[in-house]
Amino acid sequence: MVRNEIKPLSEETIDKIAAGEVVERPASVVKELVENAIDAGATAISVEIAGGGIDSIRITDNGMGIPRDQIRSAFLRHYTSKLRSAEELSSVMSLGFRGEALASIAAICKLELYTKAREESIGSLYTIEGGSEVDLVPTGAPDGCTFFAKSLFYNTPARRKFLRSPATEGNYIQDLLEKMAISAPDVSFRLISQGRDRIQTPGNGSLFDTLYSLYGRSITDELLPIEAETDGIKLTGFIGTSAINRGNRSMEVFFVNKRYIRSRGISKALEDGYEGFAMQHQFPVAILFLDVDPFKVDVNVHPAKQEVRFDDEHLLYDLIRDCVHSRLAFREDIAAVDLTSEKPAPKQDLKETSFEPFEPQRISQVRERMMEEMSSEDEEEDLSLRYARFKIDKKPEKEPEKSESRLGGGRVVYEQATFLSEKSRALHRLIGQVFGTYFMIEYDGVLYMVDQHAAHEKVLYERTMKRIRERTMDTQMVSPPVIVSLSATEEAALNDHMNDFNQMGYRITHFGGRDYQISGIPADMYTLDPGELFMSVIADATDWSGIRESELIKERIASMSCKAAIKGNHTLSNAEMETLFLELMELDEPYHCPHGRPTMISFTRDELDKKFKRIVG
């Protein structure tokens, strides 16, 4: 066996290896250069791409530019103007700081830089190919920088062949620039792809205006502003109503100190905050900004700088989850049925909304409505965790009731939605059941249609969870006891989670071999077959490992409540409907079943009058 001699790599090889850590695809080039432009104080940034950025990327900004005598240094690895020592890593606030981006980009393409510093009278053109300088000459140029990158990965074919199609790579760039535009609403962004405008933001400093220009009216009309603060962490942004939940996490957008990040922990906190407001396998729309003391967060985890670590993950989780859930609770989240439309509105693709014309007047109207919803009646309140007072009632002549909740040691005051008030409980009118599945309630010029199964399921779930929290869970004894036979896997799961089953109200004892005797079941589930109920609960018990006990119990209770709830095509008496409705309205959040389905929908008298042509227009 021949022993290979240990030798140093050439500088060219080192450059190409290091470039792979920073520049994975065309979107990486855009990210690094746009971040540099923002750090340089640019107020307008234009990105033009061809072939999804593989053929060429041109990025122009009006930032401070690079002085001619510093251009060569800017392309040397680990040369930067943003960091001077390792100690400063703990407090860095700029988007870029490693001093690797320009060297890495220049190593994998043919690059031209047109730049002029504001204090210079003439600009410079710097040409560098594959990391080797070609030329540096004076030229006419406006203040700022224009980077023109051509033939990406031309000298690393192994890397180039792993790129996706030009259309896909172009979509990555568009998605990236949308997030960067959100993080910097005071900067005007423009994206041109294959000669077509894809993004154009106003750059007027308004986050809402930026979101409107990117996502369009159908998204922004369903956004709710949130704000919370505790122990050096401030949370602001927008969360979407259940009407715009998505089938994936693509619209969960997070920023820490204005830096776009990905975080499983933040996603977990957000989605837990939506518990009961999102159907299974549905994910929320959310744009969240976290302002954190830089000493309490580490952004130096990965060269892409999209992964961060927080000093106190639990504090962050509680803040986000409780803020989101509290914002969604006490809000009348009833889907309104549009009876005036002759045919359903077509589904709108998220990417298509980017091309909706910018309407300043419409944006101003929507923003004013949002600001009214956030208006506070008591500016003198001293809260350790402060929210805006959320005004849900759309009719100002009504006086909504107030409710308080506790969050992170602070007092949070909300105005309850009209339909949750004592007045509605007293004055609503039960009309009756339709199709054996829904019943109808009239109140204040609005007709509410309630899904009896979803409503009963929610009541059973909340009733059972309350008993578990208060440790007053009742058990319905089974006589005679039911004997069930378990597989080896089911038996192991039962033994591992016997305490969980006891907490849910089960009474189970070993009967010999793999047979077990069920002598008691959760009290509210007495209408179900005890053996069948138990076997359905334990059927997926092998997936319980690693799940927190509280989540396990919630999921099992939701499943049992669904099975025990009255079904569709089941006739109810008026007294049964009235009792169920009153129990439902006692809940903090009666508008969704435990799986996120709506319990009720509504339509107004005006809509009916229009349908019958009593009102025209």
* pLDDT value, residue 82: 46
Domain ranges of the chain: 11-200, 206-418, 421-617
Give the architecture (CATH level 2) of 421-617: 2-Layer Sandwich (3.30)
Question: pLDDT tens for residues 104-147?
Answer: 899 999 999 999 999 999 999 999 999 999 999 999 999 999 99
Fold of 206-418: Ribosomal Protein S5; domain 2 (3.30.230)
* pLDDT value, residue 402: 43
Question: pLDDT tens for residues 506-518?
Answer: 899 999 888 999 9
Question: pLDDT tens for residues 498-554?
Answer: 887 887 788 999 998 889 999 988 876 766 778 877 887 776 555 555 455 556 566
* pLDDT value, residue 323: 92
For residue 289, give both structure tokens: 């900004």
For residue 9, give both structure tokens: 């790599």
CATH superfamily for domain 11-200: Histidine kinase-like ATPase, C-terminal domain (3.30.565.10)
Question: How distant, in Å, are the alpha carbons of 184, 485, 501 from that of 534?
Answer: 53, 11, 10
DSSP assignment of 510-524 equals: EEETTEEEEEEEEGG
CA 397 to chain centre: 34
CA distance 228 to 232: 11
Question: pLDDT tens for residues 268-321?
Answer: 999 989 887 777 778 999 999 999 988 787 765 444 445 677 878 888 999 999
**Residues in the chain with pLDDT values less than 70:** 1-22, 78-99, 299-307, 330-421, 468, 471, 524, 526-527, 539-556, 617
Instruction: Specify whether the CB–CB gap between 329 and 417 falls below 8 A.
Output: no
* pLDDT value, residue 506: 86
CB atoms within 10 A of CB 565: 22
* pLDDT value, residue 43: 96
pTM (whole model) above 0.75? no
Instruction: Specify whether the CB–CB gap between 194 and 174 falls below 8 A.
Output: no
